[in-house]
Every structure is written in C-alpha cells, then in structure tokens.
Amino acid sequence: MKNLKVNIAGVEFNNPVTTASGTFGYGREFSQFVDLNKIGGISVKGVAIDEWGGNPPPRIMETYGGMLNSVGLQNPGVDYFIEKEIPFLRRYESKIIANVCGHSVEEYEGVCEKINEADIDLVELNISCPNLGGSGGGAAFGTDPDMAREVVAKSKAKLTKKPLLVKLSPNVTDITLIAKTVEAAGADAVSLINTLLGMKIDIRKRKAPFANKVAGLSGPAIKPVALRMVYQVKKSVKIPVLGMGGISTGEDAIEFMMAGASAIAVGTANFINPNACINILREIEEFMEKENIKDINEIVGIID
C-alpha cells in the first residue's frame, strides 16, 4: 500500500495536498463540488481580530498565465470563524489551518490568543499579504526581518497549544533571510510563496484599475519563481516547508516536494477547476504507482 501521509510540525495529514488561503473560502463554498475528506488540509481565508471589509472593487483580473487580486483579506473576524466555520470544517477529515492576519502586532497576538483555544490544527501567520495598501500590516511584517521577528515571537508566545506556520513573502531581496529569522523567532514551519507584486493599467481609461494600484499575481506564471524559493528556503532552514505558487497539476506538486516541500497548497487552480486538488492528488498517486514509490516522503528534498 502506498503511504501518502505527511507530517508538518507534528500534525499528520492524510495526504500532502492542501488549499492555499484566500482561494478556498472556509471550505463551505467548495463543499458542494468537492469531497473535502479527500483534501489533506484546508487553509482558510484570512482571520482577523475584527471583521474586515476588504478593498473596493475591482478585486480580481485575469492576466497572462495567472490572475491579479486585490481582495484585501475581507473576513468576518475571529469570533465568527470560531463559532460558525470551525464546526462545519470539523465534519471532515481535512486538517484545519487557520490563516491569521492583522494590521499590528497586537492584532496578531489577539487572534492567536483566541485561536489557541479553538479546535484547529495549525496556525498560518500571514505576514506577507501585498493587498493591505497603506494600512501598515501584512506585507510590511514579511519584508522586514526585525518586524518579522517581533510579530512571530509575540504570536508564538500566545500559541501554547498550536504549531505555528509562517507564510513568507516573495517580494524581498533574499527570502532565506526572512525564513531563517522566523525560524529563530519560534516558527514551527514556513509556507511559501504568497503572491508576487504585479500591476495592470487600463490604457483606454488611462488609469490603474486597482485601488492600491498594485495587486497580487498568482497562477502558473509564478511557478518557476516559487519553486526556486522553496528550494532555497528548504536548504536554509531545518523546519518543514509547505510549498505553493502556481501549482496546477500533480507534476507541479511533485516538483515542489522534490525541491523540499513536505506538502503543497493549491490556490488559483481552484478558481479554474473546483476539483483541482482532487485531480492533483490522483496524479500524485498515479506517479507513485508508475515510479514504484511506496512512501511520498521518499521524494521530499531529493534535489541537491
């Protein structure tokens, strides 16, 4: 029998396929199309201390090889998430990854304190969202080593019962520096990459349509960059890596695992095909059968 189980920071997943935060809602939105039991883990849409309204429209635009988004982490807040969404997700075998966001260190701490007591499996600290405009949160923490160190250390102090996964930004000169910084500050694992900064201009209206002018680029176009960064980060830290960025097929997923990811997350592909995660898992299984791989963990980090 083939083993598809993987372990991230002490949490065992039935398989290495998870969903990327912000692309799968809270699972409820996809449940009528997808058997959530077949997905290893669900990283929910960002959860803040209070309800966030997000950015004004337009929020999403297609581009060559991907998508630009400027949603702005719209969410109903941590109390609603704990009361309404967690009980729904607990009907399924998928592990629950709570993606935490904030405008300040204190907001991150506040969410972590509440999430620590909730029935979830891991916390993913989102210090890398590029869509918060001038609010001072998100990307600012993920691109400055000192700020990253502070928010991770203080959030970790509130998480006495849950492992901490830190989501890294690709919009830096050296992502390994941030990875090593958050590892030293107490991160139990890292996830990467979040979206790359991109832009669109409407040449007829002569304006940039997004309110923040820039937006997050995701989809197949960013895969080579994401794969390179996962490889570099895994070589620089000892903690597990959750890889993401343009994964659309089982072959993509296997590349990320060979580069060092213990598990992978599927994002933009979910918008194109709600069954993307299920298809990718099937293709991984087919690859294992064809290559006579008995344990998926055999391939993790095999690229020197």
- In a domain, residue 205? The reply is no
User: What pLDDT was estimated at residue 133?
Assistant: 45
Pairing between β-strand 60-63 and β-strand 241-244 as defined by DSSP bridges? unpaired
pLDDT of residue 69: 92
- Cβ atoms of 90 and 96 closer than 8 Å: yes
**Predicted pLDDT at 129:** 73
User: Would you give per-residue pLDDT tens digits along the chain (304 residues)?
Assistant: 899 999 999 999 999 999 999 999 999 999 999 999 999 999 999 999 999 888 999 999 999 999 999 988 889 999 999 999 999 999 999 999 999 999 999 999 999 999 999 999 999 999 987 655 444 445 668 899 999 999 999 999 999 999 999 999 999 999 999 999 999 999 999 999 999 999 999 999 999 999 999 999 999 999 999 999 999 999 999 999 999 999 999 999 999 999 999 999 999 999 999 999 999 999 999 999 999 999 999 999 999 9
Q: Six-digit token pair at 142?
A: 């993920």
- Note down the domain range covering 159: 6-57+72-196+218-299
Q: How far is it, in rounded angstroms, from Cα 49 to Cα 76?
A: 9
Residue 66 inside a domain? The answer is no
Domain membership flag for residue 292: yes
Over 220-250, what HEC string results?
A: HHHHHHHHHHHHHHHHHCCCCEEEECCCCCH
Question: Residue 222: which CATH number?
Answer: 3.20.20.70
| 203 domain residue, yes or no | no
Q: What is the dihedral of CA 261, 164, 180, 298, to 10 degrees?
A: -20
pLDDT of residue 139: 60
pLDDT at 73: 84
Q: Are 285 and 1 in contact (CB under 8 A)?
A: no
Do the domain assignments include residue 272? yes
* 51: its two tokens: 């309800």
CA–CA distance, 118 with 246 (Å, rounded to integer): 31
**Does the residue 63 lie in any domain?**
no
Q: How much is the pLDDT for 136?
A: 46
Q: What is the pLDDT of residue 135?
A: 44
The pLDDT value recorded for residue 276 is: 98
131 with 73: CB under 8 angstroms?
A: yes
Q: Where are the beta strands (DSSP E) in the chain?
A: 6-8, 11-13, 17-19, 41-43, 60-63, 66-69, 95-100, 122-126, 164-167, 189-192, 196-199, 214-218, 241-244, 263-266
How many domains does one find in the chain? 1
Q: Is residue 283 part of a domain?
A: yes
> Which amino acid, 122?
L
Q: What is the model's pLDDT at position 1?
A: 82
Task: Report CA 92 to chain centroid distance, whole Å.
Answer: 20
Residue 156 lies in a domain: yes
Which residues belong to the active site? Answer: 129
Taking Cα atoms as reference points, which of 126, 165, 211 lies closest to residue 10? 165
